[in-house]
Every structure is written in structure tokens, then in C-alpha cells.
Structure 1
Amino acid sequence: MVTPTTLGPGEARTRLHELTVIDVRTPGEYAGGHLPGALNIPLDQIQRALPDIRHVADRGDVLVVCASGARSENACRILAENGIATATLSGGTGAWAADGHDLHRPQGATRATWGMERQVRLTAGAVVLLGLLLGLLVHPAFQILSAGIAAGLAVSALTNTCGMAAMLAKLPHNRPRAAELDHTLARLRDR
């Protein structure tokens, strides 16, 4: 099995012209701003894209990117298990932007998008509030909702994974249209 490497934003910026950049965030997050030239293949579509990613990895270096680095590390692990050498961007697009590098947006992308972390915070907060209110107004057993979310957040922090984000990623606004993903995979094959 190959071992993924890590690039800092400065090194990635210097080498950007020689890298194939794959952004594993949801299409909405990608539309909100991505590294120049990045191709969007959401994390849950990596298995489908393996042959095309292998094709470009055989020809040059692949950099996998997400918002903070957690999803790209997961993607790199999947790719490494399949014999594909990749690198991940340390700190993700957040670190890229914090270093003063530009994020690109697709032409015509005017729809306001929420990052996955913001979607998780809204959902978790709403369910905790709902559990507390129903626990006070209807029956104390509803407070189990709040306890469940608290436990999930603790597990998420300890494991650096997020089950709620995985579920939210399956919602229609977070999914790529089949034609968009097919177009992205064709672009990988053409490299």
C-alpha cells in the first residue's frame, strides 16, 4: 500500500501547474470556492472514479483537497488502499485561503452555498433544541435526541469523522448531477 503525503498551501501553490487537483467536497461547497483547476469528485463518489484517478496518477501527481483536510485524508486513504499515490492539502481550502491564495468559483455560480460544517452545526443545533423543547413540553424522553447528538459530536471529535456530514452529503443539494460527474471523469481521462 502506498502512503499519502501532505503538502502545505505554499508548496501546493508552487506546484499547482504540475498537479491534478481533486476536490472531494460536495458540489455546493466546491461552487463556493475551490483551488484553481480543481475537479470536483465528492468523497462518496471516489470508488466510482478509481479507474480515472488511477489514469491521471500514473501520469503525474494528484492532490486531494477538502475544506479542512479530514475528508481529503479519508479519500487519500481509500486511494492508497487501491494502490494510487496521492497527496492531501494540509488544512484544506481554509488554509489555502488563509495564506492569501485565491479560490475560484464556477461561472454562473450565484447560488449561496453552505459548507458541510455549517450544515452540520445547523442540523445538530436544531435537533438539540427540538429535543430540549419536546422534553420540556411533551415528555422528558425526548431529551434523548439531545443526548444522542451530544454523543455523536463527541465521537466525531474523537474519530475525526462525522456521521451527520455523511448523511447530509446524500441530500439532493449536496449531490452532483450525474452529467456533471460524468463530465469531470471524462476530463480526468483526457489528461
Structure 2
Amino acid sequence: MDIATNIAFIGALFTFFAAILTALVSFFRERSEREKWRRSLEFERVKWERTIELEREKWQKTIELEERHIRHEENKWVLELNSQRELELYKMRLRTYPEIFVMLEQLSHYRINEIDETEARELAEKLNKWGYSDAGLCMSPDTREAVFALRRRIGKYLQKEISAKDLTKGPRTDLIELMRFDLNHGSLWREFETLTGRNLAEMQKFIEKEA
């Protein structure tokens, strides 16, 4: 093999390996670019997902704050409405209760021996009318029941089933106590929580439940 042939062969080998090297460099460069692009896309995807998650959390907090504000306003409205209702009931009771309280003086221990059938019958009639009047609308259920219980007890007196002295016991005392309770006064003879105290406790339970 002469020199020219060797030179041509070597040149061909050099060209071949150069082409292979160029191809390899191009391949790895393209792979590097693709990996770089893939990482860039992955970074943008993660960034976008994080942005969406942050916005979602932001809106969730906004919604929770709005719901809390709405519940607060609802609770405030309920408490104001309840307070207004109790105030109106209290005014009605102050206006209507004294009438029946004065009539109960006939059943006091001091006057019970003076009562006759006519007075007892009139008192029973007044109790019945009182239970169906404005007072009957504003009194508590227990108080209204005590009114009719006393009316029935007077009926037993008129039928000679009990003595006048028995009228001073049971329903009469219950009615006095319950009227005082409705007007937020303490008991004369018994231990019980005032109406204001009970209402405050109920409102506190309502607030804790809705919080």
C-alpha cells in the first residue's frame, strides 16, 4: 500500500470518527436541551400548581371569614331579637300582672276567713278571663297553668270539697312564685334561678353551639 493510499485511508478514518464525534456531541446536546426544557416545563407546572393551591387556600380563607361573619351577624340578630322579645314580654307582664296580684290578696292568710262564695266565684271568673286575656299571651306556660289550677281549686271550694284555708296552699303559692319569676324577681319561698339568669345561660349555649 503506497503512501497516498495510507493518507486517504487515514483521512477517511478521521472523517468517520469526526462524524461520529459530531453526532455524539449533537445527540448529547439535544438530550441536554430536552432535559433542560423538561425541567423548565416541570418547574412551571409545579409553580402553576402552587399558585393555584395558594389561590384556593386564599379563597377558602375568604369564604370561611365570610361564613364566620355571617354567623356572627346571625347570632347578633338572634340575641337582639330575643332581648327585644323579652323586653316586650316584660312590659306586658308589668302592665297586666298587678291586676291578678291584687286579686290574690283575697286568698291571703290575713283575709282568707272573710271570703264567701260570691267573692270566690267572682275570683274564679276573673282568673278564667285573665288566662285568656293579654296576660295569658305574655305569661310563661307554667304561670298560665297555675292560673287555671287555682281556678279549679276555687271550684272545689265552691263544691265544698275543700275548706277556705286550703285555698292558701298549692296553686295560689305557685301562681305568686311564677308571676314573680316571670318578672325576674327572686322567690319568696323557694330556690330557683331568675329568668334573666336562665336566658343568659341559654344564649351562651346558643353562641357556643354556633361558634
Per the normalisation by structure 1, the TM-score is 0.24
Per the normalisation by structure 2, the TM-score is 0.23
Q: Which has the larger radius of gyration?
A: 2
